[in-house]
Amino acid sequence: MQNKSIIIIISILILSFIGAVVYGKISEQQAPKSSGSNHIYGKTDSKVTLTEFVDFQCEACYSYYPIVKEVKEKYKDKVKFQIKIFPISSSHQYSRMATKYAEAASVQGKFIEMHDKIFEGQKEWETAEKPQVYFETYAKELNLNMDQLKTDIANKFVDSIIEADMNELRSLGGKGTPTFVLNGKLIDNPEQSTEAFSKILDDALEQADTK
């Protein structure tokens, strides 16, 4: 009788283990996947694409922000600009939260606007106890649907977008932010000036015209 009880217990444990493994595989297969973000500004069919990988709490990104914004306005009729995300949570505790709000705003067609507000308010929310209060204020200023925003923030698909962007930068050899990529190639330490970016883009446009 005792042997039968032991066999039953062992059988239950084995079946439980198998069930857990199968459930894990099914859950993994059903987990939402993304090829990455798709935040475009400027001339969508341009032969020249400048991609910037950003971390919303990165001080260097904050310093580059006004320069890049000026460059985007200057070349919006000639160059395709792309923003991708690379939150470094190990050193920036609120960067992933900020990213989720930006990606959730993207669902309602307001990524660029939220991106700008988050960077412009960085010095306020990064020292706050509850930075989400600032992010929600930005969302309200953009007239976003707050219920939908909160639903999208909690959506695992947003996490998959973040991971896809981060994996893309790693595959290019990038490790930090901001990282700039011109037509698929990393730009090594671009000078922090409108003139420097203008030269990079002018050269790329001239080269594209000769092909």
Q: How far apart are CA 174 and CA 182, in angstroms?
A: 13
Mean pLDDT, rounded, for 102-107 = 97
Q: In which region does residue 173 sit, left (phi positive, over 0), alpha (psi from -120 to 50) or beta (all else)?
A: left
Residue 22's pLDDT is what? 41
Q: Is the pLDDT of residue 10 over 80?
A: no
Q: Which of these, 49, 56, 113, lies nearest to 81 by C-alpha position? A: 49
Mean pLDDT, rounded, for 67-77 = 97
Please tell me the pTM assigned to this model.
Answer: 0.82
| CA distance from start to end of the chain | 84
Q: Is the pLDDT of residue 76 over 70?
A: yes
Write the pLDDT tens digit of every residue in 107-128. 999 999 999 999 999 999 999 9
Q: How far apart are CA 112 and CA 107, in angstroms?
A: 11
User: Across the chain, what does the average pLDDT equal?
Assistant: 89
CATH topology of domain 39-209: Glutaredoxin (3.40.30)
Residue written as tokens 């606007």?
Answer: 113
Q: Where are the domains positioned within the chain?
A: 1-30, 39-209
Q: Does residue 56 sit in helix, strand or coil?
A: coil
Which one has a higher pLDDT value, 193 or 24?
A: 193
